[in-house]
Amino acid sequence: MRAIRILIAIISLTSINCSMSQDKEYLRQREQMVAEQIIERGIKDKNVISAMLKVERHKFVPDEYKHAAYGDHPLPIGYEQTISQPYVVAFMTEALQLKPTDKVLEIGTGSGYQAAILAEICDSVFTIEIIPELAESSEKVLKNLGYKNVWVKCDDGYKGWPEKAPFDAIIVTCSPTKIPQPLKEQLKEGGKMIIPIGSAAYGQELYIIKKENGKLIEKAVLPVRFVPMVNFEKKVY
Ligand code: SAH
């Protein structure tokens, strides 16, 4: 009996040790990702940099891709969807010039990784995902990581979240062919939106949109490739 207890103690100590060294390895990869893919490419916002250093990206990807979680590319998250490339997450977040008091709307929760980055920087994050399984799994991951300032809803993000509007910032991580009217209306005066516009066939461009005196000022900033924004019938907007 005593021998069995000792054996169990040794096994559990070994597995704690293993997961500690695994965590250390992920931290090393995360630091390398931030140095080479984020800072070297010109991201300067300190809040964005510390969020990218802190959020454990490997916890947002399926087991079979954990080894590649910190690579310079998007990754599959199931249901034909992807978690965005780390640089694109950082670029879009920085472009919004977020403040700690901001209330943000995200369309396209996916894995929940972008929502976690926003939650590190802002006051509150409202995020909408159209695929029920992804809404459920991302909500679970975010809850397990202790985020209390993120609200996930399964719905068609085209409509935005009128009950919680207006938003200081809106980030759209799937691509419609034009800016949804409800999102324009739900952006606060002086607020910023970042959104990919276009189609897989003709190409997409990331736009930064600012609302000034009720008018939207649009600027194309980066060619990108996002999954399309679709309705519940999978028809592209
Ligand atoms: N921000 C995500 C990546 C999102 S991929 C992350 O950090 O992992 C784009 C997501 O947008 C997909 O999960 C897709 O299902 C979702 N999507 C597509 N059309 C949508 C719509 N109309 N409303 C809400 N989500 C939508």
Give residue limits of the domains in the chain: 2-224
Nearest protein CA to atom 18 of ligand 1, as residue = 229
Q: Ligand 1 center to residue 230 CA distance, Å?
A: 9
Candidate of 83, 156, 227 to mutate for ligand 1, largest count of ligand atoms within 8 Å of Cβ:
227
Q: What are the φ and ψ backbone dihedral angles of 121, each rounded to 5 degrees? A: -100, -35
Catalytic residues: 84
| 2-224 topology per CATH | Rossmann fold (3.40.50)
Kindly indicate the confidence band of residue 18, based on its pLDDT and cuts at 50, 70 and 90.
low
| Predicted structure pTM score | 0.93
Closest atom of ligand 1 to CA, residue 82: 5
Residue range 132-182, pLDDT digits in tens: 999 999 999 999 999 999 999 999 999 999 999 999 999 999 999 999 999
Q: Ligand 1 center to residue 128 CA distance, Å?
A: 8
Torsion of the alpha carbons at 33, 39, 42 and 48, rounded to the nearest 10: 90
Q: Look at 136 and 2; give whichever has higher pLDDT.
A: 136
Residue range 57-112, pLDDT digits in tens: 999 999 999 999 999 999 999 999 999 999 999 999 999 999 999 999 999 999 99
Nearest protein CA to atom 14 of ligand 1, as residue = 108
pLDDT of 6 > 60? The answer is no
Q: How many CA atoms lie within 13 A of 158 on its CB side?
A: 15
